[in-house]
Amino acid sequence: MSYYKHHVFFCTNQRTNGDTSCQDFHSAEMRDYAKQRCKELGLHKDQQVRINSAGCLNRCELGPVVVVYPEATWYTWVDKTDIDEIIESHLVNGKPVERLLLD
């Protein structure tokens, strides 16, 4: 069993060779936003949700990447509205956001 109900990793990698990377889409800022939003909702208490950075998850060509464990649900996102939807639907209500899923 996982220590956290949901452990969320935002790829914040910045490639130096010019290839697309998640940080090109301001993923560190989105991670900070998600962390703050979860605190506002009280999700950071009692090992419910933990938001962390990850190094390269090797899926940068698909856009910015976030993965939620223990389910191993992979998402991409465009803006804060998408992050809010992942938090509300998946982290709060346990329903993956189909439109943002990565295969």
Mean pLDDT of 99-103: 94
92 vs 19, residue with greater confidence: 92
pLDDT reported for residue 103: 83
Strand arrangement of the beta sheet that strand 73-76 belongs to: 49-54, 6-11, 65-69, 73-76
- Decide: 67 and 54 in contact? Cβ < 8 Å: yes
CA distance 7 to 64: 17
Domains of the chain, CATH where assigned:
6-100 (3.40.30.10)
Q: Is residue 95 very low, low, confident or very high in pLDDT (cuts 50, 70, 90)?
A: very high
Q: Give the tens place of pLDDT for each residue, 20-29.
A: 899 999 999 9
For 78, the token pair is 């465009």
CA distance 75 to 30: 13
Rounded to two decimals, the pTM is 0.93
pLDDT reported for residue 1: 62
pLDDT reported for residue 89: 98
Q: Give the tens place of pLDDT for each residue, 35-56.
A: 999 999 999 999 999 999 999 9
- Decide: 26 and 68 in contact? Cβ < 8 Å: no
